[in-house]
Structure 1
């Protein structure tokens, strides 16, 4: 009688053949939800290349990448600070443009002392902010 062998090369006994249990997916393990991602063809090709290099299907690679990595987020406080900084920089830009407009318009009648004082004040504000920002 010829016996079949299992994956490890050992002969299969009648009992081991009966013990084959098919595990049905449960609600926790069954993959029944789908998402779609928009990306360029180049991005898709790069993602597929990385999946191939890792020896995964595209689906398995994306799942592994999302489950075993952490995305750095920005909190609301940082967003608020960045908005304030952006507003402050816009005001400085506006002031510099006004000074440049006056200098270009009046050319030889510009009070250079006054322009220098204004620019010095702006420079001092920027330097103070840079010191505070570094801390």
Structure 2
């Protein structure tokens, strides 16, 4: 069984400024671009926030429900005009306001938590 390492070529599309930065960092580290990328991949710490996409989907669903409730209230008010139950509409708006406040709080906490978990890659200098 051979322990030979098989190499493959990887092509990536990056902005010109990023390519120039990559060349400059490789030159400063006295490495080829391939060597620099290999070192970056080997030493990079990437935080994959577990469940983040699911949490974002839940927040998006929550926004959808709030939107639906607002549309139903608007439809009721427009359909019944003067006969619309203003007290009922007000109670629902208070509940929607509380939901929005809670949603903002959860989203802010999620953003803060995700920001503190993120770590930068160590680039050889």
Same fold (TM over 0.5): yes
Question: Aligned to 2:33, which of 48, 58, 62?
Answer: 58
Say yes or no: does 1:47 pair with 2:22.
yes
C-alpha separation in 2, matches of 1:90 and 1:113: 24
Count of matched residue positions in the alignment of Structure 1 and Structure 2: 105
Is the helix fraction higher in 1 or 2? 2
What is the alpha-carbon distance in structure 2 between the residues aligned to residue 60 and residue 83 of structure 1?
39
Unaligned runs of 5+ residues in structure 2 are 110-125
Match of 1:36 in 2: 11
What secondary structure, in the 3-state scheme, does the structure 2 residue paired with 1:71 have? Answer: coil
Unaligned runs of 5+ in 1: 1-25
Say whether 1:86 aligns with 2:63.
no
1:79-118 matched pairs, under 5 angstroms: 79-100=53-74, 102-103=76-77, 105=78, 109=82, 110-118=84-92
Length-normalised TM-score, structure 2:
0.60
**Aligned CA distance change for structure 1 residues 58 and 120 (closer, same or farther; 3 Å):** same
Q: Please provide the CA RMSD for this pair.
A: 3.2
Rg larger for:
1
